[in-house]
Structure 1
Amino acid sequence: MTSGDEDYVYDEATGEWLSPGEAAQKAGPAGVEVRDSVGNLLADGDSVALIKDLTVKGANQTLKRGTVIKAIRLTGDAQEIDCRHPGIKGLVLRAEFVRKV
């Protein structure tokens, strides 16, 4: 649906047409609060440290306790964060195993 210059988005959950501004407020990881193991609120770009040794499936590698992961990204899921580590592609960590640095 279009009105003037704006494209409206159909929200299947409510059955309503929303303006782009309203749709952006309802969607995305902005509405999800991701908290680390001690309850600190995490945001995109934060650095976190592991609180226990984690075996990475498919990489035959173990990330040791205290390893710092820089520049995390939120996935929209309250329990998962996306991050990068040398030698491991597509690393997703559970928020319960990290703490904010």
Structure 2
Amino acid sequence: MGISNVKDSNGNPLNDGDSVSLIKSLKVKGGNVTLKQGTTIKKIRLTDNDEEVDCKIDGMSIVLKTCFLKKK
């Protein structure tokens, strides 16, 4: 697959299994859940899109944009 170009909001490279935190509170589409700023998300998975990562939060599988994430 080659070298990944996935970066967080500060330009730090992200890899599979990294832990990140949210820099902004986000409403989840299709549900009445709000993810709070500062929430830590563990074991992210990279996707085919360099601007998105896949993760699990409270048992829900969610795709998040990297512009709202900060590497821990």
> Contact (CA 8 Å) 1:47, 1:72: kept in 2 or not?
yes
2:37 aligns to what?
A: 65
Unaligned runs of 5+ in 2: none
Q: TM-score, normalised by structure 2?
A: 0.93
1:31 is displaced (CA, Å) by 3.9
How do 1:7-86 and structure 2 match up within 5 A? Answer: 28=1, 30-86=2-58
Question: Any conservation in 2 of the 1:32–1:76 contact (CA below 8 Å)?
Answer: no
Shift of 1:87: 4.4
Unaligned runs of 5+ in 1: 1-27
Output the CA distance in 1 between the equivalents of 2:39 and 2:49.
23
Structure 1: which 4+ aligned runs deviate by more than 2 Å?
Answer: none
| Partners of 1:87 and 1:77 in 2: CA distance | 23
Looking at secondary structure, tell me which structure has more strand per residue: 1
Identity over aligned pairs, percent: 53
RMSD: 1.2
Larger gyration radius, structure 1 or structure 2: 1
Tell me the distance in 2 between the aligned counterparts of 1:45 and 1:59. Answer: 26
- Select the structure with the greater relative contact order (CA < 8 A; seq sep ≥ 6): 2
